[in-house]
A and B are shown apart, each in its own frame.
Chain A
Amino acid sequence: MQLKINGQTVEVTETKSLLDVVKEFGASAPFALAVNGQFVPKSQHESWNLAEQDSIEILSPVQGG
């Protein structure tokens, strides 16, 4: 299955959970996730069903004004 993570195209096996996919990508806490522009709460990271061409955003704290 082909996905986009933070704008990068990646290939993953279809059986992986959203949490597994982002961890394999290298995500480390703290982070929050969105799929196709929709927020996915932490409670759904393991159960969320990914689909072909889904676009995942992994966001972390940065400086802000």
Chain B
Amino acid sequence: MAIDVNTDLLDIYGQKFSSRLLIGSALYPSPKVMQDSIAASQAQIVTVSLRRQSPESGGGNMFWQQIKDLGLTILPNTAGCHSIQEAVTLAQMSREIFETDWVKLELVGDEYNLQPDPIDLVKATEILINDGFKVLPYCTDDLVICRHLVELGCEVLMPWGAPIGTGKGLLNPYALSAIRNRFPQTTLVVDAGIGKPSDAVQAFELGYDAILLNSAVAQAQDPIVMAQAFKAACEAGRFGYLAGKMPEKDTAQPSTPTLGMPFWHQS
């Protein structure tokens, strides 16, 4: 039986989405390319952030209007936070300004690779969940950290594929697969590290429910076409996963019938 994206829906804290691509709003060559790329991706969730207001640049109002014009679900992040207090405060400010209790919780543990601090991430998650947030934690692919996050009430986990902005693809498919197998009921999103559409396909083939990316589209030579490519890759990967791949064999098996073979095999 055929499936389509309108019946096979992504579940994020009870909200349903036909797109399995979450997309960032940063690093595009221009605001127009950002809008056109996000539209071309057909993503329904877009990530944004908060920074110090610069009155001379219009206070961020122009950007916010462009994002609102897209009519998408907003996912604020806490990018750049290095402490629990910073992340919690930024999340609270985001909740007020973006009018959402969703937060993509990012807590940098090391500047070298922007790796999430696993210990403080768990502590900040607990504080935010107790404060009524729906936390989407950007985490490493550590199974035990993921377990702690799930036990705290996270319905979504977002382990990295590779460090932010590297485009290296899924560096540890085994670890990502283990998380999938361990938490079959949790919505899993590969966040960060995806560089090309085949990386997205691989994430879905591992059974992941969605991907979140930014640089892979924004920094492509043609962001709009790459956004289209990722849309197609998400659907291909997801449908392929649902279809179930054929059993592998160690030796060749002819696909064309051998019965009735002409010429040399006949006596």
Contact = CB atoms under 8 A, between A and B. Distances in A.
B26 A59 contact: no
A65 B59 contact: no
Given A32-B50, A32-B94, A39-B92, A63 B27 contact: yes
Nearest to B97: A32
B33 to A, nearest CB: 12
Interface string A30-65: 111110011101100000000000000111111111
B34 interface: yes
B93 A34 contact: yes
Interface stretch (B8-16, B61-69, B220-228): B61-69
Interface in B40-79: 47-53, 55, 58-61, 63-64, 67, 76-77, 79
Interface residues of B, number: 38
Contacts of B27: 63, 65
A63 B48 contact: yes
B93 A65 contact: no
A13 interface: no
Contacts of B90: 59
Interface string B70-102: 000000110100000110011011101110000
Nearest to B59: A28
Interface in A1-23: 6-7
Contact of A31 (B53, B77, B165, B215): B53
5 contacts: A28-B61, A60-B60, A62-B51, A63-B28, A64-B79
Interface of B: 24-28, 34, 47-53, 55, 58-61, 63-64, 67, 76-77, 79, 85-86, 89-90, 92-94, 96-98, 164-165, 214-215
Report the 8 A-B pairs with minimum CB-CB distance, sorted nearest first.
A64-B49, A60-B60, A26-B55, A65-B24, A65-B214, A32-B93, A63-B26, A39-B92
